[in-house]
Amino acid sequence: MQFDTPATTNPIDNLKVVGQPIHRIDGQLKTTGRAMYAYEWHDPNMRYAYGYPVGSAIAKGRITSMDVSAAKRSPGVLAVVTTLDIGERKKGKFNTAKLFGGDEVQHYHQAIAVVVAETFEQARRSRAGQGRLCRGKGCIRPR
């Protein structure tokens, strides 16, 4: 763009578009609780499961093993997926933190597993009910 002629008034200066108190098109939906956020879409024909993340109890280190057998036996639990189940994954172009997968813990409460259960309360309980999924020396090596 060449700036070689005097600027004249434009639609922004005229405040014909910018600066007008135009109502947002989603306003009526958001203010009445009818706007559907991603989690809130509900198909009555589908059965839904609930996932609850398990956060690392250490801030930095490597996980050498995880024992999820007790979590898997908890009421309503359908599956437990741990970061060790997923191999280390390459970061995408815009990722800063590493993706879920692999054995490295980079920050406190980093998600190291997800518990999937039939209800939210069951998923939340089983993650905690087992204490840490990873117990004992050598299981997590803090750095």
Partner 1 sequence: MRAFTYERASSVEAAAKAVASNAETKFIAGGTNLLDLMKLEIETPTHLIDINGLGLDRIESTPEGGLRIGALVRNTDLAAHETVRRDYGLLSRALVAGASGQLRNKATTAGNLLQRTRCPYFYDPNQPCNKRQPGSGCSAIGGFSRQHAVVGVSESCIATHPSDMAIAMRALDAVIETVKADGSRRSVPIADFHRLPGDTPDIETVLERGEFITAVLLPPPIGGNHIYRKVRDRASYAFALVSVGAVIQSDGTGRIAVGGVAHKPWRIEAAEAELPKGARAAAGVLLADAHPTEQNRFKVDLVERTLGAVIAEARG
Partner 2 sequence: MPSQTQLELSRRDLLISSAATIAVTGAVTPAAAQSPGNEMAHTSKVSFTVNGERRDLEVDNRTSLLDALREHLHLTGTKKGCDHGQCGACTVMVDGHRINSCLTLAVMHEGDRITTIEGLGQPGNLHPMQAAFVKHDGFQCGYCTPGQICSSVAVLEEIKANIPSHVTGDLTAQAVVTPVEIRERMSGNICRCGAYSNILDAISEVAGIKA
125 is an interface residue for partner 1 by CB under 8 A = yes
For residue 135, which amino acid is it?
A: R
60 is an interface residue for partner 1 by CB under 8 A = no
Q: Shortest CA distance to 64 belongs to which of 5, 129, 135?
A: 135
- Nearest-approach distance from CB 131 to partner 2, in angstroms: 19
Among 13, 85, 88, 121, binds partner 2 (CB under 8 A): 121
- What is the helix (H) or strand (E) element at residue 50, kind and residue range? strand 50-55
CA 48, distance to chain mean position in Å, is 17
What whole-number distance in Å separates Cα of residue 31 and Cα of residue 33? 6
Each residue 6-45 as x (binds partner 2 by CB under 8 A) or -, in order, gives ---------------x-xx-xxxxxxxxxxxx-xx-x---
Residues that bind partner 1 (CB under 8 A): 57, 75, 121, 124-125, 128-129
